[in-house]
Amino acid sequence: MYHHRRRISTLQKIILAITITSTHQSILVSSWCLKSLHSNRFNIMSTMKTALSSASSSQEDEANSSGGSLLVSAMHRISLTTDDDDTSPSTNIRLLLASQSPRRREILDMMGLSNRYTAQPSPLDETALQLELSRQDITPQKYARTLAERKAHAMGLALSANGKSGNGITLIIGSDTIVDLEGSIMEKPNDEAEACSMLRRLSGNWHEVHTGVAVYGVGAGMNTSSGDNVKCMFSFTDTARVKFATLSDKDIQSYVDSKEPMDKAGSYGIQGIGGQLVESMVGDFFTVMGLPMHRLSRELSKAIASLEC
């Protein structure tokens, strides 16, 4: 009986040896086949993906062990809003949110920045820019990123012109969030009738939420060809996909009656009552809320590190 069981055991166990050579960006994979028990079944592709992911994570951990890749490791480099002395080399960076959005302020507060940034609206004529962009053949992703860039840049120019950039460097965060239903851009509703119309269109359907983010640096250390001391540190658009439940007319009207939709792109706020309308989503929750926390953290960390070079 023992020999019979060994004879019919034909499954093989794949042991993957993966050597990653970062200099040439190549991966050498070798495998050996060993006999295994009938109960041990392995999916080769799954095993390879797991091994590759583990190797990639190990490399990233090793690369980040000294400096850190998230803003939490560089928080001390940002000046406190109560600190009048901006001459210290260790805290000569100010952070300014070019927005009065309570959602974006809430996200920055959750990141631990509550006493390390100020907020004020950008002087940009946003309505005029939206009209200009609507006449161009651009993607919703570029539309959101362009608005974010222009908001931050306009704020940077205003600070530079008024001589309010200080002795250090101010990093200005500009952001814009739009809802995209099959290529149709939804901004904030103009009135309750438009809010109801938007929600009926979103009902039962998938849509995308794009949040554009741009950070500009302003200060004496920002050398630019234009000579205005305002430089784009980075910009990007982050996208999440959201599926609405099928909504009744009563649900829609009741939600609009709450007044929550009136200052929100697509006429809903996922972090509030509007979260009840969302059946599922794919992507970063904070992107839908108005500011992609993780990606912003990574990019701000890189920007701060570049200022130290």
List the catalytic residues. Answer: 176
Element (H, E) at 159: helix 140-161
- The answer to whether the beta carbons of residues 93 and 300 sit under 8 Å apart is no
Per the CB < 8 A criterion, the answer to whether 92 and 170 are in contact is: no
Question: What token pair was written down for 18?
Answer: 């993966």
Q: Match 């200080």 to its residue by tokens.
A: 166
Can you tell me which residue has the tokens 């060809």?
A: 225
Helices (DSSP H) in the chain: which residue ranges?
A: 2-8, 44-64, 102-110, 126-134, 140-161, 192-202, 249-257, 285-289, 293-308
Residue 78: DSSP 8-state: B
Radius of gyration of the chain (CA): 25
> CA 163, CA 144: separation in Å to the nearest integer?
29
Element (H or E) spanning 154, and its range? helix 140-161
What would the two tokens of residue 12 be?
Answer: 């093989």
* Residue carrying structure tokens 């205005």: 228
